[in-house]
Amino acid sequence: MDLQDPTPDLLIRAYSRGIFPMVDRRSGEVVWLSPDPRGILPLDGLRVSKSLARAVRSGRFEIRSNGAFGEVIRECAAARPGRWETWIDERLVDAYTRLHEMGLAHSVEAWRDGELVGGLYGVQVGAAFCGESMFSRPERGGTDASKVCLVKLVEWLRGGGFQLLDTQFTSPHLERLGVIEVPRDAYLERLGEALRRWGDWPGCSAWAPPGRS
């Protein structure tokens, strides 16, 4: 098994064991991680600030599911001010795109006036969704777009019977949204329970707030 060739089969085996890949920025090698502690967002623990609630209600964004997976992952991989390096390379773009074509990787997208301005993507194993990356394009009117996508993601996961939303790591930004850390053993126990079931990803192709056509 070539660990530098992240095939869809290898990815699913890894995620099912609580392991995920990243590209080391210095060596260019694919490294496989299982952090301890682990970041998760309890599906009943999302914190929606007043400003985020206003963004959700505003109708600025149309939120779609799996409408532009390739664009989302490439936007997540793109260099941006303050983040000139990325852990996503063409090997991972190809592998996750193939997973998406198999129905095992999903994107949530924020569109404004027909343009993609934010989104996130991740991998589904059973009733677990393993969030990988998210982006916003504030210069194109996408301020808070990724966070609005996260609000909709949590709604969809809860409605589809998912049991676990894995964020891998945490940060002050994610903690403000309700992400917590749990020991790796506790995470693996939750993952094992989620693998015994299957979550239903939303069949709808698009969602828009009330009052928005």
Domain boundaries, the chain: 8-207
User: 185-212 burial, b for 16+ CB within 10 Å, e for fewer?
Assistant: eebbebbeebbeeebebbeeeebeeeee
Give the whole-angstrom CA distance, residue 74 versus residue 93: 7
Q: Please provide the average confidence, as pLDDT, over all residues in the chain.
A: 91
Which of 16, 38, 58 minimizes the C-alpha distance to 170? Answer: 38
Give the whole-angstrom CA distance, residue 45 versus residue 10: 31
pTM: 0.91
Question: Would you state the pLDDT for residue 1?
Answer: 73
- Tens digits of per-residue pLDDT, 74-120? 999 986 655 545 678 999 999 999 999 999 999 999 999 999 999 99
Q: Which residues does 57 contact at the CB level (< 8 Å), separation at least 6?
A: 209
The counts of H helices and E strands in the chain are 7, 10
Question: Would you state the pLDDT for residue 203?
Answer: 58
3-state helix, strand, coil in the chain (%, to 5): 35, 25, 40
* CATH number corresponding to 8-207: 3.40.630.70
Q: Which two tokens stand for residue 12?
A: 């699913």
